[in-house]
Homo-oligomer: A and B are copies of this chain.
Amino acid sequence: MYRTHNLGQLRIENAGEEVVLSGWVANVRDMNHFLFLVLRDREGITQVIIDKENSPEGLFEKVKALNNEDVVRVTGTVRERSSKNKDMPTGDIEVAADTVDILSRSLQLPFAINDNITNLSEDMRLKYRYLDLRRTKMLNNLKKRNTMLKAIRDYLTDKGFLDIDTPVLAKATPEGARDFIVPSRINKGDFYALPQSPQLFKQILMVAGVDKYYQLAKCFRDEDLRADRQPEFTQLDIEMSFVTQEDILCEMEKMAKKVFEKVTGKKADYDFPRMDYYEAMDRYGSDKPDTRFGLELIDITEEVRNSGFKAFAGAAESGGSIKAIVVPGNLEKFSRKYIGDLENYVKTYYKAKGLAHIRIDENNETVSPIAKFFSEAELSAITGKLELKAGSIALIIADTKDVTNNALGALRLKVGNELDFINEEQDNFLWVIDFPMFEWSEEEERYKSTHHPFTAIKEEDKEFLNKNLEKIRTLSYDMVLNGYEIGGGSIRIHDSELQDVIFEKLGLSKEEAEEKFGFFLNALRYGVPPHGGIAFGVDRWLMAMLKEDSIKEVIPFPKTNKGQDLMMEAPAAVDKKQLEEELLLKSLYVEEAKEDK
């Protein structure tokens, strides 16, 4: 037997009991007449004591020679400690050892197991993930993830949702991001694709009459990676029949509150605010606003439209907008260098042409490189609209509407973070709704669907189908938490005629639509319930709840930003024999090579 108790379990009530404990050696301290052997497992730590005088022969030397992270089994007797440790659940007791068996040895570790990792590179952590996960924080993140998945499943099962798994070896997604593909050995020359989401399958399940479906599904996108994106990720996929948008928002809000409570121990006792897409873009320059702080975008286009400042007037004239955020009470931070850094940031990442500023100093004087371009009345109109007060600075961008919103929205977040405007104790959920159906793609010179082509549109916007596609809003919704889009979904089109019209507007001929979505369009012809759903990014949602900066902190075995698993060293070269069997080397490709000549 390896243990009678785990290492977080023993209490003063156990004093006098004979116990067996097993775990990792956290450390051994030599106090001359006795040794403290601290053992660690998933549940906690327990102190074992070996008395030099009174313990069996050889035991003292054996324990003294242990390495940290050796795995041992201890038998002994629980006794009350003379000096208790109130910070430790097992701090009232210690175990006087009778025997210590070494179950397995550890080499010297590449890094120590503790939560101070300031000197530890991400690459080392990923390469030795099995040691990284021994740290309390990481083990807790795994536990929180388990808690989250359990809370989701319990909630949805209670509500009659069926957990149904859909294929991973699937078909390429038309109109989506890039797919990972898998060559088929049996069907030579053909490929499976890994699913970007079970979108079509979940709608198919509604056609099948499943009514309420959910799945925690692995999904895959072969995109360039960044901190909150991985090539494979876990999606909570949900679909419901015979529901309105309101039904879905209410159900999902209840679920989100329950999950939040279970994972964080806090409550979200409020109705999630709802903000339409256009308002979110106007006020926050983002469709996933972090509403935990102000610094909202203020539009001064009208105030500068007729001014003599070409950069502003010109932007207004060509249909762009001029907007600002006002940062109060931090003037000293806004050195010339810091403002320069901010300008570089919006130029580099958001293609803004520049960043202007107006400062009101402690003496209520307006100080700005651009002040000279405005009349006193104009300047007063601007500072009035911005409600600029002493000790504030306005950061201003004049550009196309999209660039102004995106750049200033990003700047707002950057400044909010760097100047500590965000209360990290706070958690703001909200819904962003009413996304547009179509957006113009300059690259492809056609309209594309903002969400996906199966999204239902608002009844009152159907009139725009033949007039102004950009005015059409959808029955769609994103759930946002602290500036992260944690989930998004829509009501779907259940009318195959309307679906045909949408494809036409997307520039797909009947034949193209048939080729791309054939089986699905066919399914829509056999009796489709009104339905809609949502999909949550589980990793991102958990990251937001735990206030982590990277999804790698909440994924058990994440990949690097280059898509590599540093521990197992994947991807890797593959045996030539296998490539031949998959026909990757032979006929198919050799033929291609011939064609190329």
| A positions within 8 Å CB-CB of B | 1-3, 6, 22, 24-25, 40-43, 69-71, 103-107, 109, 129-131, 133-134, 139, 142-143, 145-146, 149-150, 153, 157, 162-172, 178-187, 189-194, 200-201, 204-205, 207-211, 218, 220, 222, 224, 231-232, 234, 242-244, 494-496, 518-519, 523, 525-530, 556-557, 559, 562-565, 567-575, 578, 581-582, 584-585, 589-590, 592-594, 596
Contact = CB atoms under 8 A, between A and B. Distances in A.
Contacts of A589: 584-585, 589-590, 592-593
Contact of A218 (B168, B222, B234): B168
Q: State the oligomeric state as a number of copies.
A: 2
B134 A208 contact: yes
B582 A592 contact: no
- List the 6 closest pairs (A to B, CB-CB), nearest first: A106-B527, A2-B242, A190-B571, A133-B208, A171-B570, A589-B589
25 contacts: A24-B529, A42-B210, A69-B527, A71-B529, A103-B494, A105-B527, A130-B207, A130-B523, A130-B526, A133-B209, A139-B209, A139-B210, A149-B163, A150-B157, A167-B559, A167-B570, A169-B563, A171-B571, A171-B572, A172-B575, A184-B563, A184-B571, A193-B570, A585-B592, A589-B589
Contacts of A184: 563, 571
Given A149-B163, A189-B573, 18 more contacts: A2-B530, A42-B209, A42-B210, A42-B211, A104-B494, A106-B525, A106-B526, A165-B556, A167-B559, A169-B565, A170-B568, A171-B565, A181-B182, A181-B582, A187-B562, A187-B571, A204-B567, A590-B596
B201 A557 contact: yes
A527 B66 CA distance: 11
Contacts of A164: 142, 145-146, 556
Given A168-B168, A181-B574, A209-B41, A104 B162 contact: no
A202 to B, nearest CB: 11
Given A527-B70, A584-B584, A166 B557 contact: yes
A178 B109 CA distance: 35
B204 A104 contact: no
Contacts of A139: 208-210
A482 to B, nearest CB: 24
A218 to B, nearest CB: 5
B24 A527 contact: yes
A194 B184 CA distance: 13
A578 B222 CA distance: 11
Residue of A103, A218, A242, A518 with most chain B CB atoms under a 10 A cut-off = A242
Nearest to A582: B181
Nearest to A20: B242
Given A171-B570, A231-B169, A244 B1 contact: yes
B42 A526 contact: no
A130 B169 contact: no
A107 B526 contact: yes
A99 to B, nearest CB: 16
Contacts of A181: 182-183, 574, 578, 582
A570 B231 contact: no
Contacts of A104: 494-496, 527-530
A519 B168 contact: no
A104 B572 CA distance: 50
A562 B188 CA distance: 11
Contacts of A191: 571-574
Contacts of A528: 71, 103-104
B172 A574 contact: yes
Nearest to A191: B574
